[in-house]
Amino acid sequence: MLRHALSLSRAVASVPCPHPRPPLLRCCHCPVSPPSAAPEPPQDLAVPNAAWSDTMRRHYGHLEAIKGWTRLPSFRRAQHHFPGAAGTSGDTRLFPRAIEGPGDGFEYVMFLSVPSRRLRCLCQPGPFLEGHPGLTHGGALATLIDSSLGTLALAVAGRVVTANLSIDYVLPVPLGTVVLVDAHLERQEGRKVFLECHLRSADGDTLHARATGLFIRLDPPKDEAREGGVGDQ
């Protein structure tokens, strides 16, 4: 009986898994591959690719040419944005970059002007973001707005979390069209950071949504505070 069980286990182990799964969801009998020796280099996705429309490319070139604005790289993995932060080990993803296929989800690029406390985000929503047939899901637009306001809050105030996000949806956004989020800092009150933005068509003629956000600046980590980190203003 024991010999038969050992033979059966060897036979099962030699059969490849018929349903490949992500690394963290392997079948119990599948061998675990050793971790890669070298980390995957960051990939900047905030650059033109084959899925970008002519409109997206044209407005990208216009924003890139404006002096005083900096294009922000957009890496897929969260630890490239927040090195050393808790919970960013392994195959973590920034939510807007979780969809692999170019053009399938959020195709976006952000431009930041710290002196003017403003951020502009150009986006072309793909078919995986569909809500009503042919239209971008309202939750996807909320993600775009939250990411834009949050990035600006990080730039002007340091580590923050979203406390409140209020959105007025004005007109739906057809899939594949190009929209522009224009965000700015409204005011700061201690640890509270107030921002607002408008989401318009790339040419600025059509208002699709307006939003306000409240972000709370987090206390610096203890080791940073001991080294003279920034405290409350």
Task: List pLDDT tens digits, range 69-112.
Answer: 999 998 877 666 655 544 545 566 788 988 888 999 999 999 99
Q: Please state the pTM of the whole predicted model.
A: 0.76
Least confident of 49-58, 88-97, 113-122, 196-205: 88-97
The CATH code that applies to domain 43-226 is: 3.10.129.10
Q: What is the pLDDT of residues 137-164, one digit of tens each?
A: 999 999 999 999 999 999 999 999 999 9
Q: How far apart are CA 129 and CA 106, in angstroms?
A: 8
Sheet holding 179-189, edge to edge: 70-72, 106-113, 118-125, 179-189, 192-201, 207-217, 160-169
Domain map (residue ranges) of the chain: 43-226
Q: How far apart are CA 152 and CA 112, in angstroms?
A: 8
Indicate which residue of 146, 219, 223, 232 is catalytic: 146
Q: How far apart are CA 146 and CA 163, in angstroms?
A: 11
For the chain, the average pLDDT equals: 82
Annotation marks residue 146 as catalytic: yes
Q: What number is the average pLDDT over the span 204-209?
A: 97
